[in-house]
Structure 1
Amino acid sequence: MLPKNHRLRLPQDFTATVRSGARTGRRNVVLYARVRINDPQGNNRFGFIVSKAVGNAVHRNLVKRRMRALAAQIPANANGLDFVFRALPGAAEIEWDELNQQVSSGLVSVVRKAGEKHEKGP
């Protein structure tokens, strides 16, 4: 489990990250990232969205556990970011290695896009 200070918990944090953050999609997951203006050097925070379209509760919880494990492996060199991982319906059917590859490649892209978006300003 991620520590409390590494989790997105408020609905407005999820909404701000999804609506105003950078976005990149992969076959089974969509990643959003946003640089926090009020805490740019704080911990990275992660949120997960896994809808009923992914499957029953067993499949949804499996996908959430896998995504939390992937989030825990992210190096702390990109501080002050909020991430939201949205699982798409095929996420429950793929193997760990494929999900890991999709999230890893998506993270590289979304972190770069979030930095560019932050530098441009509002």
Structure 2
Amino acid sequence: MLTREHRLTSGLLFAPAIRRGRRAGTRTLVVHLHVAAPDAGTSPQVGFVVSKAVGSAVTRNLVKRRLRHLTRERLSLLPGSAVLVVRALPPSATATYAELGADLDRALSRALARS
């Protein structure tokens, strides 16, 4: 589970990352990475968007849990002031944990290279 300091807790915080952040996508997900001016006291924050297009509530929650766990393992890759929004696409419902992890790694490395 992500700690509270690493979670986006307000819908207003999603907008800057989605509008001004670097986007990179794969078959199962799209990441939006926004790196603001470096602040010494900040830590990276992560938010998730899993729409009803992904599937039923049970499926969406499964996808969210997997993405939260995968993202927690990769927090050290993000700069301190980063805001990362991970948007799940419908194919994420049938993807395995390993496939989601590989897609997250691929999209995250591309977004980091562009920022």
TM over 0.5: yes
Over the aligned positions, Cα root-mean-square deviation in angstroms equals 1.5
The residue that corresponds to 2:16 in the other structure is 16
| Distance apart, 1:76 and its partner CA | 1.9
Which residue matches 1:111? Answer: 112
Distance 1:81 1:40, change over 3 A: farther
Alpha-carbon distance in structure 2 between the residues aligned to 1:83 and 1:40: 18
Aligned residues: 114
Identical-residue share of aligned pairs (%): 37
1:60 maps onto 2:68 in alignment: no
Which amino acid in 2 is paired with 1:50?
Answer: V
Q: Which runs of 5+ in 2 are unaligned?
A: none
CA distance in 1, matches of 2:38, 2:75: 21
Partner of 1:46: 46
Within-5 A mapping of 1:85-100: 85-100=86-101
* Aligned partners of 2:24 and 2:31 also within 8 Å: yes
TM-score, normalised via structure 2 length: 0.92
Q: Aligned to 1:86, what secondary structure does the other structure show? A: strand
Residue 9 of structure 1 deviates from its aligned partner by 1.3
Is the 8 Å Cα contact of residues 40 and 81 (structure 1) preserved in structure 2?
no
Q: Deviations over 1:44-66 (max 9, x none)?
A: 10000000000000000000000
Give the C-alpha shift of residue 112 in structure 1.
Answer: 1.7
- In structure 2, relative to structure 1, the CA distance for the partners of 1:40 and 1:26 (3 Å cut) is farther
